[in-house]
Chains A and B, each alone.
Chain A
């Protein structure tokens, strides 16, 4: 599965922030390299297509599946999707493996890259990364692209006693989140060209670079502390963003709590249901004619128990992690908003100082002030673009999340319905059998 021959892109490569064109600008043609790579089920994920296909058995779920595909086509107008269709960088995170050494035990994941971009020497890469490496990448991205929203990583620390870091479920959930992180970065028109991302995807041994990450983090905080400018007036649209994020955070928290409560109630229901089914089985033992019907009912109840268990697993694996991830996303976004505020404050501070000096001795506007102004305007533009992208992402992700949740519930009820319907058929067959034998 190889990509086409690498083509020369006009404006790819490293550029100072100010020069990188706005993704919504007319210069989008440069991204339109058509590389057809098959089997992109990973691509489908970020497009919002369903990961799990509902069982084709029932016509209603078939109809729903078709509906979803139609809906995707209708979304083609979204600029986010346009970029996605002309993607030339594909990344995947899979294949978790446990590594045991004398010092520590940890998990690595396979990171596969396929690309036609010139920034990459080879069309394909495949290497293993651990969580630390993803964390390094995230820090580097934050540092080097302070005006952009960096996608969140799953939580770093887990309480060792409470959560099993090596359980299949935990690893699976974390891997999906890492995959999402990397895909979001690779899909971002600016971030995907970041050299650190390139390094992450191509260089086998990241170890030397870990040290640098620490240093730069320290540097960053020092810079912020030295800033100390006060923001005069936040533009309305950014204020609105901040408010939205706060309320959205609240709602997410509520939804997470509801989902967890439902899981708890369902699990208690399941416990009682199992006992309930067992009573039918034990009663059947003391009956003659009624044995088959009682066993039948007990069997149907057992089937429903299994279906309920699947539903619960699906919810905790697919729904809850996404909710948590968005809470982290909101944190990231708020950080970026804060940084924007700071750069605006800095600009306003310097401007004020310069204006005063100008009034005194008629010197022209110092260069730093102009630079600051550029910085703020860039920041604002980037942020607005990222905000739109984030909103689009959010809409897709939640649409997928909620339809997935609905699908799981539909599937659960369909399974239960089938179990009871087959029981009725079984009992009614026996009935007609009995009838004919009576009349003879």
Chain B
């Protein structure tokens, strides 16, 4: 089943792939890749959510939600053994920790995003409350999606910390901190500075960065516009409910027209009520868009990492060049560029030969250090470029597939909504005809 990853991404019966313990449906698009690794060996799902009370870091009482992560070896599933899954509870902050770790450890990978921390892009009917059961449910689905994406990534799925996340409930956090990944995290200021000052970044990466800006802008625009549309459509449907009431009242005073009006009124009530389910379903589409809104950020992060490594390489090279130049000037006595040393030499005469020798030796040491440094940084930069380019292409293909699926399923939703509309109004019309 996991083998035909690609075919499954095009078929519409994805529900069978996600046999979540509680039978609820995951997002309608598949996340299985062709070369899924961890996912081939293990079935993963986020089955439930529960409220817990506990003390937070500043020792204050708080209520938070935990999610049940269940795993089962794939061969058990294939053989039909009804083995109970292993499970542990994780809260959102632990997912965040995992992701941050992955971001730092694999800076050349477009790391899958987490579902949003707080409800955003809501239309008025949906609450922005983090404790709201609908929000918690959608977040559960989003967390499961995150795990499935990570577990099916050719590089990320091999990570030890990830595997421990899925299997070791207690003490996992300590293990993560022990890796010291936080020290490797880039400071934002450094990264920003690199963006502005880098001289010749890889053109492809610059294009990709520009694209990530576009992707982010468009998805967020679309999400906002969709929320406004949903708000308005809700209004239209609900006002029709008033017809239901007035037809019912009117029918009471009519003889021949009464029955027809009364039943038509019921259909108008049904019409008004139908919008709730329609918009609830559409939230899945919004979630799919949101995932790629956040993915854009991850893509940009990879491009920024490139800028950083390239910048550091440039700085190291510049540094090396300037030292080589200094060495040359000192050894040949020819001053090509203005320097205070040169000026003072001119004004106060050259320094003593022993000092000069010492300086030259010092420079030579620095130069050889610098050359090593440049070599290292070049390797780092090249390696990042190579790996990142590979993953960005994988990401692009995945994005094209997923969003295409999402658009198709959106169209299917619209068709279903139209069919319901035709049905209700046809029913009402039959009632009117009987008037």
Interface of A toward B, CB cutoff 8 Å: 60, 64, 67-68, 71, 244, 247-248, 251, 254-255, 258, 261-262, 265-266, 268-269, 272-273, 275-276, 279-280, 282-283, 286, 288-290, 293-294, 296-297, 300, 395, 398-399, 402-403, 406-407, 409-410, 412-414, 416-417, 420-421, 423-424, 427-428, 431, 435
Contacts and interface: CB of A to CB of B under 8 A. Distances in A.
Nearest to B249: A251
Given A258-B246, A293-B403, A410-B426, 18 more contacts: A60-B422, A248-B250, A261-B239, A262-B236, A265-B235, A265-B236, A272-B225, A282-B218, A286-B211, A286-B214, A286-B218, A288-B400, A289-B400, A398-B435, A410-B422, A410-B429, A420-B412, A427-B404
Given A273-B229, A297-B407, A68 B433 contact: yes
A399 B253 CA distance: 16
Nearest to A71: B433
Nearest to B406: A293
B432 interface: yes
B408 A262 contact: no
Given A265-B239, A269-B235, A293-B404, A406 B429 contact: yes
B435 A276 contact: no
A181 to B, nearest CB: 23
B379 interface: no
Contacts of B249: 251
Interface in B199-232: 211, 214-215, 218-219, 221-222, 225-226, 228-229, 231-232
Contacts of B419: 413, 417
Contacts of B425: 406, 409-410, 413
Given A290-B403, A297-B407, A414-B418, A402 B432 contact: yes
Contact of A398 (B221, B232, B240, B257): B257
A294 B239 contact: no
Nearest to B257: A395
Contact of B411 (A60, A282, A420): A420
A269 B215 contact: no
B421 A409 contact: yes
A427 B407 contact: yes
B242 interface: yes
8 contacts: A71-B433, A251-B249, A262-B240, A273-B232, A286-B215, A406-B426, A416-B418, A420-B418
A248 B232 CA distance: 31
Contact of A420 (B239, B260, B414): B414
A399 B435 contact: yes
B78 to A, nearest CB: 27
B415 interface: yes
Interface majority SS (helix, strand, loop, mixed), chain B: helix
B214 A262 contact: no
A410 B432 CA distance: 14
Contacts of A265: 232, 235-236, 239
B10 interface: yes
Contact of B429 (A64, A276, A280): A64
A293 B410 CA distance: 11
B178 interface: no
Contacts of B412: 420, 424
A276 B264 contact: no
A435 B233 CA distance: 37
A269 B411 contact: no
Contacts of A71: 433
Interface in B304-363: none
Interface in B379-435: 399-400, 403-404, 407-408, 410-412, 414-415, 418-419, 421-422, 425-426, 428-430, 432-433, 435
A266 B411 contact: no
B404 to A, nearest CB: 5
A423 B411 contact: yes
B407 A416 contact: no
A339 to B, nearest CB: 24
B433 A266 contact: no
B222 A262 contact: no
B418 A417 contact: yes
A294 B414 contact: no
Given A294-B407, A420-B414, A258 B243 contact: yes
B429 A403 contact: yes
Contacts of A410: 421-422, 425-426, 429
Given A280-B222, A286-B218, A416-B418, A406 B432 contact: yes
A269 B253 contact: no
A63 to B, nearest CB: 9
A202 to B, nearest CB: 38
A258 B241 CA distance: 10
A282 B358 CA distance: 65
Nearest to B422: A413
Given A67-B433, A290-B404, A300-B411, A276 B229 contact: yes
Nearest to A435: B10
A279 B435 CA distance: 45
B240 to A, nearest CB: 7
Contacts of B226: 276
